[in-house]
Chain A
């Protein structure tokens, strides 16, 4: 089975721009979660989707949004980028009924 695939792996944006990150889960996994990882705050939960519905949401401003498609692929969007949004954004998929996350390699976002 292919693992969780995230694209792009690296990107550089400037303040005020927006960015869209993509995640393809493991085949058959219907739950996709997103996390932000920074040196200061560690791994923080953004949101989780299952069958195209957001089931859980973390404490992030409305500039952070996401969606899931019928094929379980997911995207997250950050609008009006701020310097503090520079981070590694990690996507993870989960098999139904399991509690274990399988992470992708992440998308490294740098905001200048």
Chain B
């Protein structure tokens, strides 16, 4: 069965630094991969989608890479701010429309 692993449960970084989160997967070749942000008590919010034929995607201070050979995606938050503190989830399509498999998430805390 598919397995998705996000590198760590928690990541603490200093404001202004770059946070790098990892999402590894096995036993599957997704057509695309997504990243979501979730704040306590709220539902996840979509951030970025990257397709299997794309190497990199950017949105403001966010950057996502997708290496289908390594079966890995990296999610970068550059010039991090305390407002970036949240849990970040990676999600892969499971071969059916609108059916996503989520990683456990990495909780990022940015210290001022």
Contacts and interface: CB of A to CB of B under 8 A. Distances in A.
A100 to B, nearest CB: 5
Interface in A81-112: 90, 92, 94, 99-106
Nearest to A44: B102
Size bracket, chain A contacts: 20 to 34
A88 to B, nearest CB: 8
Given A99-B34, A100-B34, A94 B43 contact: no
Interface residues of B, number: 23
B46 A102 contact: yes
Contact of B43 (A31, A48, A100, A103): A103
A94 B98 contact: yes
22 contacts: A4-B43, A35-B102, A42-B105, A43-B102, A44-B102, A45-B94, A45-B99, A45-B101, A48-B98, A50-B98, A56-B96, A58-B99, A90-B43, A90-B44, A94-B98, A99-B49, A99-B97, A101-B98, A101-B100, A103-B45, A106-B42, A106-B43
